Each structure stands twice: as C-alpha cells, then as structure tokens.
Structure 1
Amino acid sequence: MKNSVLSLAVLMSLATANAMAATTDLTVTGIITPAACTPTLSNGGLVEYGSLALTDLEDTPSQYNLPAKSLNFAIECSAPTTFALIANDNRRDSSPASPWLFGLGKHQDQSIGQYGMSWQYESTVVDGAQGLNLVSEDGGNSWTNVINGGLFDAGRAPNTLTGFSSGTNLGPTPATSVNVTMDVRGSINKGLTLNGAMELDGSATIEVIYL
C-alpha cells in the first residue's frame, strides 16, 4: 500500500509541474524579393500651388479646376524585376466614391475637392525604350493596354494594378528602370463655405508590388 501511495504522489507531482509549465512562441516572417525597386518623384513628391483665389481658377458648372501640374516619376530596380504599382489615398474620407480620384482634405468638415494622377501620353520609357502602359482589374491575372495609364486608389479598387511593358505582350515585363511624366489634375468643389483661407491637404502613398 505504501508503494502505491508513493507512486500516486509522484504522478500527481509530475502532472502539476506539466500544468504549470510556461511557453513562448517564435514567429519568423519576412518577404524575399528578386530585387529591390525604389520609386521616386521629382520635387520630393510635392505639388505646390501656392496661394490662389477661386477667381483665378477655371470655373465650370460643378467645380473649379486647378492648373495641371507635372512630376517625373521613376522606378529603379537593382536587377530586372516584374512589378506593378498601387496607390493608397491618405485622405480617402474627403474623396468622392471613385477609384481614380483622391481627396484634397477637408475644410471645416467639408470635402475640398479631388485630384487624379495619370501618365502623359507616350511619356513611358522602360529600360531606355518606349514602353506600354498596362492596367489589371483582377489582381494581375489579366492585363489591358491603355493609352495614358495612371494610378487607382487601392482602398476603392483593391484588385486594380498599374503596370508597364517593354514590348507588345499584354503583361508587365521584367525591367530595371521605368520613367514616366505624371500629370496631377485637381479640382475644388463648388458650394463650399469659406471663412478665411482654405488649405489643400492631398496625400497619397505609391507602392511597388512584386509580381
């Protein structure tokens, strides 16, 4: 009987030790890409309008048009890489429900206006030669050749990608450099209540996606 009691005590002690054992988890994450691609915009990505009066802007029935501005947009990769672009509107709460329009911020809880980003016609250069502008609306499964091309808000069109090709094939081709001239065209909503100066506050983040 004593042996049985001793055995039972040992078993209970081991079970209690196992129940109280502390654990911790190790998680290893990361993304391995074929090469590093860096996007850059001229003028530090700043589109500066300075001080404008509404009377200085083109007046249309629904909005006041801002003068078009242009920036040089380049993507440089350390080796030939297949990639696409997406953009995220950091002022989405002030933009209309359109995937190609980005918000200009708010003035006294009023949406100020919107802008779009598109490539100038035939300005796309892929690895030193004339390139094609592509767009995919299904996450990169199929691609369409477009004349100008441009950027879409991933928050409103999560499956829409912008790409480039160096040939006639309908799909992004591996490239080490892409250069385009990007036009920024914006407008101010009509019917705003203005008390003093109104500051434009557009902001978007452009991201390279590896395919």
Structure 2
Amino acid sequence: MSSILDRSPLLVSRRQARQLAAWAKGTGYDRPALCRISKQGKYAYYSNRFIAIRWDVSGLDVPDDSWIDLQPGYSDGKNAKPDVLTNMAEWAKTVGPTSSWDLLDTERWRKPDGLDYPDVAHLFTRAWTGYAQVSFNAELLGGVILAVMPEDSIRFMMAPSVGGDGATTHAWWVMSDDERVAGLIVPMRLALGGPEHPDEVGLPKPYEAKEGDK
C-alpha cells in the first residue's frame, strides 16, 4: 500500500529541469539513453556517466522503461507546437519561474521504446568506508545539489557509495532531507602528491605528535 508521502506530488522545479536538460545537452544527443529520465522499478533515474539523480516514484502507475525526454524537439513547421507534456526540456523553456513538473503524473511519461538504460541502480548503496579526502568538480556538485534539494535548502548530506578500489574512487551520494530524491557524483582524479601520500597534494600535513606531547 502506498504511503501518503508516495501519493504526494514529486515536483521538479523549472530551474532543476533546466539543469537536467543542460546535462543532457552536454552529453551530445547522439546518445539518447543519456537524454532521458527512465523509470526502473520504484525509482526513476537520470545519468550522464559522471553524475546520477534518483527519484522515489513509488505509486507511479506506468511500466518500467517509461521515460521523460530531456532532448529539445526539432520542428520544420513554423506552426508546430513544442511537446511540453512529455518533453521536460521543451517544458522548461516555456513555463514561468515558479512552475513545477510532477514526476508522479502518469501523463508526463512516454511509453517504453526498447532502449536499454544504463544500470545505475546498484550504485545507490551505502558503502562502509572510513573518511578519506576526495575532490569534486564544483560546477557538477552544485548542479547535483540543485537537482536533489529544494531551492531554499541550506544544507545537504553526502556519503560514499559502493564500488571502486578505494575511498577516492567511490561515487558519493547527495541525499534530500525527505529521502525521496538522491544524487550521485564521481570524484575527480587528484593530482599526484608525494610517493608516500600520492592523493594528499595540496592538503595540510597530518598532525604529528611531538616527543613530550601528552
């Protein structure tokens, strides 16, 4: 049975939609799987290989692999109307700044078309690791925070995901307060430091206890 939370609207703001559309445009439209939001089980996902966003769409009554287009439409006719119902990129160009797109609205979703979507579901699993220094692309991290969090939020939570050979190669979660939306971001490769601590270039030296310290 769906909870009250599951039945309440799951809104994407115009600003968030424009960020998703910009990411899709940045991947190149020759890769259609990276230009859509796809429903997989109880979640919907967007990924461009460097980041991923997950929405909890429990209670959404559409088949798996249903999708929302993030690729702007092309029209040869001057009088042709843009698809603002199932194309989020077109919708975001036409609506006002306070408008929102409800991901739980079944009319917003296109029917499955047989395109295989990247498997990112398994990455949204918390890793049990110790703290380690990581480096993020500030523009990508800001975009993920925008896509996941309400625009009036002043804090966000991060945690490492499973996968990778070390703490600096794990993707990292960004989680909304109500846990309905989650994001992933892959750390940047750090420049090499010294031979004993190759990933610590630019960081302060670790504390070293001196003789006589208690």
Structure of higher RCO (CA pairs closer than 8 Å, 6+ residues apart): 1
Task: Pick the structure with greater CA Rg.
Answer: 1
TM-score, normalised to structure 2, is 0.22
TM-score, normalised to structure 1, is 0.22
Is the strand fraction higher in 1 or 2? 1
Is the helix fraction higher in 1 or 2? 2
